[in-house]
Structure 1
Amino acid sequence: MAEGLRERKKRQTKQHISDVATGLFMERGFDAVTIAEIAEAAEVSVNTVYNYFPAKEDLFVDREEEVVDRPSRLVRERAAGRSAAQALMDQLRQDIRERHPYVGLTEGYERFRQVIVESPTLMARLFAIQGQTVHRLGATLREEAAADPRDPTPEFIAHQLIGLQNAVLRSIIRGLAEGGGVDEVAEDALRNVGVMESLLSDTVLNYAVKNTP
């Protein structure tokens, strides 16, 4: 169904407000910027900002749903014969090779990370997002593996897989902070993925293999 004019204008307005807010946050830090200042810079009312973004941190994490659902989506869309772990590890390697923003190997990411670290509000939101991601992946694994409702395995595996990804992302942040070049840090990250993958049990590596149609 084609997007109507009204819907397109609303989407464009929301994106414009988000872009303006992000620019201010990058320049001055999250806590130093007010909603009133964002509204003025975006040339909209304060009420309009709140209509699109009920909480201030929503302006910074405007792709939260996409981030939370991404691991689950990758598992749901995995190829036949691939396990959940293989689907996530394959994508992680691809993200690193392509220098995807998801793994922090893009220009300006260090400032983005710094803004988060300097704000207790954003740090709390980040932890909440990580928790939601694990919870949703656990539910997806349970469905994909047709696991018994009382079986804790899907949740435990979700924790391991998301934890592995987070550990690799932290190694990238650390490498860049220590002055490593993007290419060098990316190669180290790919090796780290291999090391961490080797530490996973056969149960985790072969969980929820997708049946061939």
Structure 2
Amino acid sequence: MAEGLRERKKRQTRQHISDVATGLFMERGFEAVTIAEIAEAAEVSVNTVYNYFPAKEDLFVDREEEIVDRPSRLVRERAVGQSAARALLDQLRQDIGERHPYVGLTAGFDRFRQVIVDSPTLMARLFTIQGRAVNRLGGTLREEAAAAPQDPTPEFIAHQLVGAENAVRRAIQHGLAEGGSVDEVAEDALRKVDVMESLLSDTVLNYAVKNTP
């Protein structure tokens, strides 16, 4: 269904406000910027900002739903013969190889990350997002593996897989903070993915293999 003019204008307005806010946050830090300042810089009213973003942190994490659903989406879209873990690990390697923003291998990401670290509000939101991703992935794994309601395996595996991704991303951030080049850090990250995979049990690595298209 084609996007109508009204929907397109709303999407563009939302994106404009988010872009302006992110620029201010990157320049001055999250806590130092007010909603009123964002509204003024974006040339909209304060009420308009709140209409699109009910909480201030929503302006910084405006792609939260996409991030939360990403592990589950990768599992749902995995190839026939591929397990859930292989789908996530393969995508992680691809993201590293392509220097994807998702793993923090892009110019300026260090500042983006620092804004989060310096804000207790954003750090709390980050933990919430990670928790939601684990919970959603657990539900997806339960469906894909047709696990019994009382079986805790899907949730436990979801914790391991999301935790593994987070550990590799933290290693990337640490490597860049220590002065490593993007290429050096990426090569090291790929080695760490191999180590992480070697530490996962066969049960985890072979869980929810897709049998039909």
What is the TM-score with the length of structure 2 in the denominator? 0.99
Could you list the per-position Cα deviations for residues 22-71 of structure 1 after superposition, in whole angstroms to 9, with x for gaps in the alignment? 00000000000000000000000000000000000000000000000000
Partner of 1:47: 47
Cα deviation for residue 138 of structure 1 reads 0.2
Asked if 1:161 is matched to 2:164, the reply is no
User: Structure 1 counterpart of 2:177, which letter?
Assistant: A
Taking every aligned residue pair, what percent have the same amino acid on both sides? Answer: 86
SS in 1 for 2:180: coil
2:138 and 2:12 map into 1 onto residues whose CA distance is: 34
Superposed, which structure 2 residues align to 1:74-85 within 5 Å?
74-85=74-85
2:100 and 2:177 map into 1 onto residues whose CA distance is: 18
- Give 4+ residue runs of structure 1 displaced > 2 Å after superposition: none
Could you list the per-position Cα deviations for residues 167-196 of structure 1 after superposition, in whole angstroms to 9, with x for gaps in the alignment? 000100010010000000000000000000
2:101 and 2:47 map into 1 onto residues whose CA distance is: 31
Cα deviation for residue 120 of structure 1 reads 0.1
Partner of 2:112: 112
1:49 and 1:114 map into 2 onto residues whose CA distance is: 24
Unaligned runs of 5+ in 2: none
Asked if 1:103 is matched to 2:103, the reply is yes
Superposed, which structure 2 residues align to 1:115-194 within 5 Å?
115-194=115-194
Cα deviation for residue 110 of structure 1 reads 0.2
Partner of 1:203: 203
Cα deviation for residue 212 of structure 1 reads 3.4
User: Structure 1 counterpart of 2:203, which letter?
Assistant: T
1:181 and 1:45 map into 2 onto residues whose CA distance is: 42
User: Structure 2 counterpart of 1:91, which letter?
Assistant: Q
User: Structure 2 counterpart of 1:151, which letter?
Assistant: D
2:2 and 2:105 map into 1 onto residues whose CA distance is: 35
SS in 2 for 1:184: helix
- How many aligned positions are there? 213
1:119 and 1:178 map into 2 onto residues whose CA distance is: 22
1:114 and 1:101 map into 2 onto residues whose CA distance is: 15
Superposed, which structure 2 residues align to 1:14-25 within 5 Å?
14-25=14-25
SS in 1 for 2:212: coil
2:38 and 2:170 map into 1 onto residues whose CA distance is: 31
Cα deviation for residue 75 of structure 1 reads 0.0
SS in 2 for 1:115: helix
1:6 and 1:200 map into 2 onto residues whose CA distance is: 49
Unaligned runs of 5+ in 1: none
Could you list the per-position Cα deviations for residues 110-159 of structure 1 after superposition, in whole angstroms to 9, with x for gaps in the alignment? 00000000000000000000000000000000000000000000000000
1:7 and 1:167 map into 2 onto residues whose CA distance is: 38
1:106 and 1:154 map into 2 onto residues whose CA distance is: 33
2:151 and 2:162 map into 1 onto residues whose CA distance is: 19
